[in-house]
Amino acid sequence: MFNVRRDMTRVAGDLWCKAGAVLFIILLGAFSMPFANAADFRLRPDLEPHLRSLKLIYPPEGPHSVLAQLPNLEDGEVGQIDQFALYPAEPEMATHVIELSGPIVKGDAGKLSAFLDSISGPSIRYLVFNSPGGDFLEGFKIADSIRYNLESQDPDIGGVFVLKNTSCVSACALAFSLSVDMVHPFASDARYVEKGAELGFHMAYLAGNQGAQVERIDKILAFGYQVTEQYSKLIGFNINPPELMMEALKHSTADSFFYLRGGINTWNLGFSPVSNEAEANLVHVGDGVEYDANEICNTVNVAGRSFKAYYEVADLFQFMNSEFSLSDLKALKGRTATLYTDTFSCQLSMTPEGALSVALWRGKPLCLQQGPGNEEVNGGLQGWCASRKVFSAPVTLGLMGNVLGCSDNRLVSKNSWAGENGGPSGRVKSNVNFRSSPDVGGQVLGMLPAGATLSLTGCMIRGDKVGIWYQGQFEGQTGWVSARYISPNLYYEAGQFLPITRRVKPSWEGFSEQ
């Protein structure tokens, strides 16, 4: 898989220091939950076909993403980042899938190392986590073993996974999170969370009768220091943003977790959501009415990892009413255009088949000079222009769903909409059929006229040629319509932000992933 490589810098600010201090105080008396059974390590060749089917839902990112540097320039048409999580199979290189299941107890890290050493011959290994947690310190040792491999001169671990309908919580979640390359400045994230998995974070706690025990203060302090150090690595090396720890701090009991389930929040907090279902399908631009281009750039900018000030995000919103659309993009000879906001550049590109890709960077837009075959769009220092193409990431139905206010087949919260009645609504772009079901073969209930307002009640992402459907009510009827024909009245604004990290609060903040 092609990895866009960047420089990595440490980001340490007051927020990190304060969060780390709070974490230390909470953990002074915290110990891990005891389990009778140990973790089980075994080869799972039956999982390889499933892992090979998993594709990234969002653009690949890593510690380098906070810098938002210019991606590599593309020569020709082969400039789209590989969407698949696994490396392509090679005849001379075996693939081994190892599952870690069951509770984590003392000694499991050594067992994992011995298990990996017992696999003979050259191979790429992928580890699947499926555990209720257990011993935090042993979880750190497991992560150390994996990380040392990733950071070595010849790593043979290709990534770690939490799969759909399984969970990795507590000590397992931290072991999974820390299984990441912290040395190479250009490494992209390889911690894959399948849509529908559960990655659950909370703070360590005293379990059972341990709360009544009196421990030596030096032992308690040592444990607190160790756990704080591990969280500090994730933040200090830009592996995950401080918000991940801030959310974990809210959960300090055995049955309370902050869950990530492979949606846009998972991506926003530094991991890599994957799927083999409709949300990982590519968006294709066809004929007729299409999506607006500006909203795509807005979502990638706000939800991505790049650090940004409030005004840098607000700059983008002045273009939200621009008439530049994907149909305009398709009409360009090079099928590539870049939006420049005086701080960030957002590029949209299209293949001859209509597949869409996106790239975001801080800096100039690489506009083409006017001339034969080089059309200029809204020329000037800001706005859209035909431009040179850079390496870009596929735009998926999952990402487009977030653009249109449809996350996890649900409309985003009511306070994200700007309808007259405060509820979700959208404007009909052109005459379109109103159907009984989200299917091009569904019964036609009537025609929605251009300019009408549709009260939205639901949404669905499907793997058909339409891709995204809105459910709505119009003149007493409830039906479904292609989202391509609806301009949602979403409340596009930068929102609140945290001044230390320069991160904005997206419109889906507080939206629990399902």
3-state secondary structure of 425: strand
Q: Which residues contact 506 (CB under 8 A, 6 or more apart)?
A: 264, 268, 302, 303, 495
Best CA proximity match to 307, nearest among 84, 108, 63 = 63
In single-letter form, the type of residue at position 110 comes to: G
In single-letter form, the type of residue at position 6 comes to: R
Cα angle, residue 264 at apex, residues 191 and 242 outer, rounded to 5°: 70
Asked, for residue 299, whether it belongs to a domain, the answer is yes
Range of the domain at 39: 14-67+91-278
Give the whole-angstrom CA distance, residue 296 versus residue 398.
12
CATH at 271: 3.90.226.10
Task: Kindly list the distances between the CA atom of residue 114 and the CA atoms of 38, 78, 378, in Å, as whole numbers in the listed order.
Answer: 15, 41, 61
Beta strands in 36-93 (DSSP E): 40-43, 55-56
Whether 157 and 189 share a structural domain: yes
Domain count, the chain: 3
Whether 142 and 223 share a structural domain: yes
Whether 237 and 152 share a structural domain: yes
CATH at 446: 2.30.30.40
Give the whole-angstrom CA distance, residue 126 versus residue 72.
28
Tell me the H-state helices in 136-216: 136-150, 171-177
Whether 98 and 236 share a structural domain: yes
Q: What sign has the CA pseudo-torsion 255, 261, 263, 267? A: positive
State the pTM of this model: 0.85
Whether 267 and 127 share a structural domain: yes
Cβ neighbourhood burial of 487 (10 Å; 0-12, 13-18, 19+): middle
Whether 24 and 153 share a structural domain: yes
Whether 142 and 232 share a structural domain: yes
Asked, for residue 512, whether it belongs to a domain, the answer is no
179 φ/ψ angles, rounded to the nearest 5 degrees: -85, 70
Asked, for residue 509, whether it belongs to a domain, the answer is no
Tokens of 239: 């592996």
Whether 254 and 199 share a structural domain: yes
Tokens of 349: 């590109």
Q: What is the pLDDT of residue 369?
A: 64
Asked, for residue 390, whether it belongs to a domain, the answer is yes
Domain boundary pick from 364, 398, 432: 398
Give the whole-angstrom CA distance, residue 197 versus residue 205.
24
Q: 460-470: string of b/e by CB count within 10 Å (b at 16+)?
A: bbbeeebbbbb
Domain boundary pick from 225, 253, 278: 278
Cβ neighbourhood burial of 30 (10 Å; 0-12, 13-18, 19+): buried
Q: What is the pLDDT of residue 512?
A: 65
Give the whole-angstrom CA distance, residue 35 versus residue 367.
60
Tens place of pLDDT per residue across the chain (514 aa): 333 323 333 333 333 333 443 333 333 334 444 555 778 999 999 999 999 999 999 999 888 888 888 887 765 555 668 899 998 888 889 999 999 999 999 999 999 999 999 998 899 999 999 999 999 999 999 999 999 999 999 999 999 999 999 999 999 999 999 999 999 878 889 999 999 999 999 876 555 455 445 556 677 667 667 777 787 788 888 899 888 888 888 887 788 899 999 999 999 899 999 999 999 999 988 766 778 788 888 889 888 888 776 556 555 555 555 678 888 888 888 899 998 887 889 999 999 888 999 999 988 888 886 544 445 555 555 788 888 899 999 999 999 999 899 988 999 876 667 655 567 899 999 999 999 999 999 999 999 999 999 999 999 999 888 899 999 999 999 999 999 999 988 765 433 332 223 333 444 445 567 6
Whether 61 and 141 share a structural domain: yes
Count how many residues are written for the chain: 514
Domain boundary pick from 363, 398, 433: 398
Asked, for residue 513, whether it belongs to a domain, the answer is no
Asked, for residue 410, whether it belongs to a domain, the answer is no
Q: What is the pLDDT of residue 255?
A: 86
284 φ/ψ angles, rounded to the nearest 5 degrees: -115, 135
Asked, for residue 313, whether it belongs to a domain, the answer is yes
Beta bridge mates, 282: 396
Whether 381 and 308 share a structural domain: yes
Asked, for residue 79, whether it belongs to a domain, the answer is no
Whether 427 and 383 share a structural domain: no
Whether 323 and 385 share a structural domain: yes
Q: At what angle do helices 14-27 and 217-236 cross, to 10 degrees?
A: 150
